[in-house]
Amino acid sequence: MQEQPFLQKILKIVTNIYFLTGVTFLIWMLFFDSNSVISNYKKNQKIEDLKLEEAYYQNQILEIEENMNELSSSAKQLEKFAREKYMFKKKGEDIYLIEE
pLDDT digits over 16-70, tens only?
899 999 999 989 888 888 888 888 999 999 999 999 999 999 999 999 999 888 8
Residues 31, 38 contacting (CB under 8 angstroms): yes
Contact 91, 85 (CB under 8 A): no
Domain ranges of the chain: 1-33, 38-88
Report the amino acid identity of residue 52: L
Task: Look at residue 92 and give its three-state secondary structure.
Answer: coil
| Angle between helices 37-73 and 75-86 in degrees, nearest 10 | 130
Convert the pLDDT of each residue in 62-91 to its tens digit. Answer: 999 998 888 888 888 888 888 888 877 888
pLDDT for 64 equals 92
Helical pair 3-14 and 17-27, crossing angle rounded to 10 deg: 60
The continuous run of DSSP H or E covering 14 comes out as helix 3-14
